[in-house]
Amino acid sequence: MSKTVIVSGNFAAAYGAKLSRAAVVAAYPITPQTEVVEKIASLVADGEMDAQFVKVESEHSAMAACIAASNAGARAFTASSAHGLTLMHELLIWAAGARLPVVMVNINRAMGPPWSVWADHHDALAQKGTGQLQFFCESNQEVLDSVIMAYKICEGSDIMMPAMVVEDAFILSHTKEPVEIYDQELVDEFLPPYNPEYKLDVNRPFGFGSLGMPDWYMDFRYKMAEAMDKAVDRVEEVNKKFKEVFGRDHGGLIEEYKTDGVDVLIFTMGSISSTSKDVIDELRAEGHNIGLARLRTYRPFPAEKLRELTRNVNVVGVLDRSYTFGHMGDSAGEIKAALYGHKDLILKNYIVGLGGRDLTPKILKNIMLDTLSLQDKELDEEVEWVDLRINQERWRR
Amino acid sequence: MAKLPDEELMFQGTTACPGCGAAHAMRYTLKALGKDTIMNLPACCWAVIPGVWPSRNLDIPLLYNAFEATGAASSGVRAGLDVNGIGREVTVVGFAGDGGTADIGIQALSGCLERGTDTIQIMYDNEAYMNTGIQRSGATPYGAWTTTTPVGSRQAWKKNPKKNMMEIVNAHGIPYAATVSIGHPESMIDKLRKAKEIPGPKFIHIYAPCPTGWRSDPSITVELCRLAVDSCVFPLYEIENGVYNVYKKPKKKIPVREYMKLQGRFRHLPENEVDRIQVNVDREWELLLKKEAFTKEQVV
Ligand SMILES: Cc1ncc(C[n+]2csc(CCOP(=O)(O)OP(=O)(O)O)c2C)c(N)n1
Ligand code: SF4
C-alpha cells in the first residue's frame, strides 16, 4: 500500500533512491544535501533499504565509486550540492562518456566565495554540458518521482546516460510537504532491475574506457549526442507511463500553466514556479493574457517543444536564478538560441534570487507587469538584475 | 614552559557553540604565532566561527578556500609572498578540521608536505564533520556514533579505526610534527612556537572536543582533554626529524572507560567493545613508547 508522509525534499530524494532500489549509494555530506546522506545511512542501518553505502572521502570519490559500481552492474545513486557537485565535474563527464545511468540528486546551492548555502542554480547549470540529463523540480513529490523516472529514462538501452535531479536548497530540501511513497511492488513493475548489456564480468571480459584515437573518438561523442536527442522523446514517454501507473504528471519536458492562447509567456525553473503560478492567477484575474512555462527538463533541452509553445506568443519574460558571467542568464540564452530563425519575439531576461535572495509574490508580480508592458513599448534592457540593493525600491513597491 | 601570552587576536562574537574546543584551538594558536600570520581556512566550522561578512573576529588576514584545497592554498600563499619579498617573518598557516585534513584534503596536504612548503598545517580534530552536522570522518574513532554511522537496529556505529595522521605526515619526512591539546595550553603554545621557528613543512594535530557532536557537557571540554591524555587515547608527543618525544606521560594511566562514559557518542557500546578499545589504546601507547626509545637511541 502506498502511504503519504510529510517529508522534506531531502527525505523525498532518499525515498526515491530506496523505491528505485538503488543498490550502491556513495555520497559525501554537504549542506543542504546532508540529510539525504544521513537518511540513507539510517535506512540502511535499520535494514529498511538493501544497499551498500560507501562512505567516501570526497564527492569526486562519490561519483567515481558510483561509476565503478554501475560498471559492475549495480544501480548507483548519489547526491550532492554546489561545491561538492562542482568537485565532481570530471566524473560527471566521465559517467556520460562511460554511458552509465547513474542518477544523482543535486540540491542546488550558490557557489562561493562568498560562502553561501542558499538556493541558486549556478552549480547545476555549470554542469549542463557534461552529458547529464537534468530535471529541475518544483515540489518534493516531484523529486521522488523524478528519481524513479530518471532511472527509467536513463537505463533505456538506446539512452544509457546519467541524470541529475535538481531541487532548490532549503525551499525544497528542508521544507516538509506531503509526499506519497508508492507501493514498492508498483515501482518494481515500473522500473525493472538494472541489467546492463555490458558490465565487468570475468566470463566476458571487456576493457571499459580505454584510449580512443581521433579516428574513433568523435564517433563515440556523436553516439552520446544521438542518445541525448532520443532522450527528448523518452522523457515524454516515461512521463506518460508514470502518469498511467502513479497518476501524476509533472510536465515531462516543459510544464505548462495556463498557456493556451496567451500573448505573454513567463519562463521559470524550480521552486519559484509555484509562487509565480499564484501571481499568474492574480494577473489573469486582472485581465492580463499571460501564462507560465516551467522548464523542467534542461538537458536534453526541449527546443522543439519550446517553439510550439511560443508560436503565438509576442513577449517572453525569462527568470533565471543564476547568471552566466559575460553573457546572460543561462535559460534565457538557451531559449533565445532555440527560437532563433523560428520565431521573432521580444525576450527579456530577469536575474533573480541569487544566493537565496527571497522572491516575494510582490517582486514576481512587478517582474511580470514589466514583461507585460513590453507589449506596447521598446525593450529597455535585455537583461535586468532584480531586487538588488540599488534597485530594491522599484521591485518591492 | 611559556605562560599564556596576553596578546588577543581573537575577539568576542564568535558563532561557535558553548564549550567549543575548536574555538580555543584558534585562540591559543594565534597567541602562539602572533599577528604576522596569514591563515587559510577551508570549509569547516571555522569557516563560520569568524562571523559573517562584513564582521570578522580574527585580527589577522584570512583566506577562505575550497574544502579540499588547504595544502595547495598554503603553497600558493607562500609562493605569492615570496615573490613579493615577504619571507619567514610571516607565517603561513593552514587551519583545517579533521575532514578537511584527513579525508578530502589529504591529497593537497600530502603535496604541500612533499614539496617542502614553509608552512604550518594544522588539523583541529573534533573527530567528525561537525559543520555539516556530525558525519563520520576518517578521524572518527572506532566505536563512535555519528549520523552516518548510526546505531540503529544493525548497530552500524563506526567500525573502522581512526586514521593516524601523525604517522601519515611523518612518512613524508617532514622536519616537525606534534600533537597538542587545548587542555594543555602552555605546551600547545610551546610546540606551535617551535614549529614556527623551523623552516619547511610542519604539522600540528590539535585535539579539540566538540560538545555538540560528542554529546558531552559543554562545561567539561577541558576535562575531556585531560582525560584523553591521561588515558593515552590522545598522547601528547612530537616528532622532530624522525625522533619521537612523548612530552606528557600520565603519572597514572586511567581506563578509557572513564574518558568514554562522559560522551553520548559512545553510549551504545557494549562492555566488550570498550575492553577492545582499551586493548588497542594500550597497544598504541606501548608502540609509541617503543618508537620514542628506538628513535632516541638512534640519535645518540
Ligand atoms: C567540496 C565540498 N564538499 C563538501 C562540503 C561541505 N562541508 C563543509 S564543511 C564540511 C565538514 C567539515 O568537517 P571538518 O573538516 O572535520 O571540520 P569541522 O566542521 O568538524 O570543524 C563539509 C562536509 C564543501 N564545503 N565542499
Ligand atoms: S559544532 Fe562543535 S566544533 Fe563546531 S562550533 Fe559547535 S562545538 Fe565547535
Q: Is B99 in the pocket of ligand 2 (CB under 6 A)?
A: no
Selected for mutation to probe chain B from A54, A55, A80, A85 (highest B CB count within 10 Å) is A55
Q: What is the pLDDT of residue B55?
A: 87
pLDDT above 70: percentage of residues in chain B: 99
Contacts of A42 in chain B (CB under 8 A): 147, 150, 152
CATH, domain A3-246, list 3.40.50.1480, 3.40.50.720, 3.40.30.10, 3.40.50.970:
3.40.50.970
Q: What is the pLDDT of residue B300?
A: 65
Ligand nearest to the CA of B20: 2
Which residue owns the Cα nearest ligand 2 atom 4? B45
The pLDDT tens digits for B39-94 are: 999 999 999 999 988 888 999 999 999 999 999 999 999 999 999 999 999 999 99
Q: What is the rounded CA–CA span in Å between residue A288 and residue A315?
A: 13
Q: Which of B130, B109, B11, B17 is nearest to B65 (CA)?
A: B109
SS3 state of residue A6? strand
This model of the complex carries an ipTM of 0.92
Average pLDDT over residues A41-48: 92
- CA torsion, ordered B276, B281, B284, B286, to nearest 10 deg: -110
Burial of A357 (0-12, 13-18, 19+ CB in 10 A): middle
The pLDDT tens digits for A148-197 are: 999 999 999 999 999 999 999 999 999 999 999 999 999 999 999 999 99
Contacts of A158 (CB under 8 A, 6+ apart): A227, A230, A234
CA–centroid distance, residue B23 to ligand 2 (Å): 8
Strand ranges in A241-357 using DSSP code E only, listed in sequence order: 254-257, 264-268, 290-295, 297-299, 315-320, 346-351
Cβ proximity of B92 and B118 under 8 Å: yes
B151/A45 Cβ within 8 A? yes
Q: What is the rounded CA–CA span in Å between residue A19 and residue A16?
A: 5
Cα B272–B277–B280 angle (5° rounding)? 130
Count the alpha carbons within 13 Å of B131 in the hemisphere toward its beta carbon: 22
| Cis omega (within 30 of 0) for bond into B54 | yes
The pLDDT tens digits for A201-236 are: 999 999 999 999 999 999 999 999 999 999 999 999
Q: Is B22 in the pocket of ligand 1 (CB under 6 A)?
A: yes
Comparing A3-246 with A254-396, is the CATH topology the same?
yes
The answer to whether residue A14 scores a pLDDT higher than 80 is yes
Q: What is the pLDDT of residue B13?
A: 84
Contacts of A189 (CB under 8 A, 6+ apart): A245
Q: What is the pLDDT of residue B2?
A: 64
B153/A45 Cβ within 8 A? yes
Q: What is the pLDDT of residue B299?
A: 74
Residue by residue, DSSP assigns B247-297 as EE--SSPPPHHHHHTT-GGGTT--HHHHHHHHHHHHHHHHHHHHHHHHHHH
Ranges in chain B, pLDDT < 50: none
CB nearest to A45's CB, from B67, B104, B154: B154
Cβ proximity of A339 and A304 under 8 Å: no
Q: What is the pLDDT of residue B111?
A: 97
The answer to whether residue A198 scores a pLDDT higher than 90 is yes
Contact residues, chain A to chain B, C-beta under 8 Å: 28-31, 34, 37-38, 41-42, 44-47, 55, 57-58, 83, 87, 112-115
Average pLDDT over residues A245-252: 98
CA–centroid distance for B261 within its chain: 22
CA–centroid distance, residue A389 to ligand 1 (Å): 31
Q: State which amino acid sits at residue A276.
A: S
Q: What is the pLDDT of residue B188?
A: 98
Q: Running DSSP on this structure, what letter comes out for residue A164?
A: E
Q: Is B130 in the pocket of ligand 1 (CB under 6 A)?
A: yes
Q: How far is CA B40 from CA B13, B63, B73, B75, B92, in A?
A: 20, 5, 7, 10, 8
Please state the pTM of the whole predicted model.
0.95
Name the strands in the sheet holding A264-268, side by side, starting at the edge strand that comes first in the sequence: A254-257, A290-295, A264-268, A315-320, A346-351, A383-385
The pLDDT tens digits for A327-347 are: 999 999 999 999 999 989 999
Average pLDDT over residues A91-112: 98
B136/A55 Cβ within 8 A? yes
Q: State which amino acid sits at residue A38.
A: E
Looking at CATH, the fold of the domain delimited by A254-396 is given as Rossmann fold (3.40.50)
Cell of B299: 640519535
Q: What is the pLDDT of residue B154?
A: 85
Cell of B298: 638512534
Cβ proximity of A345 and A315 under 8 Å: yes
Domains, chain B, with CATH or none? 21-299 (3.40.50.970)
Cell of B115: 614539496
Q: What is the rounded CA–CA span in Å between residue A274 and residue A278?
A: 7
Domain residue spans of chain A: 3-246, 254-396
The answer to whether residue A244 scores a pLDDT higher than 80 is yes
Selected for mutation to probe chain A from B49, B104, B130, B154 (highest A CB count within 10 Å) is B104
Strand ranges in chain B using DSSP code E only, listed in sequence order: 37-41, 62-64, 91-97, 119-125, 176-181, 201-207, 236-240, 243-248
Average pLDDT over residues A15-20: 98
The answer to whether residue A379 scores a pLDDT higher than 80 is yes
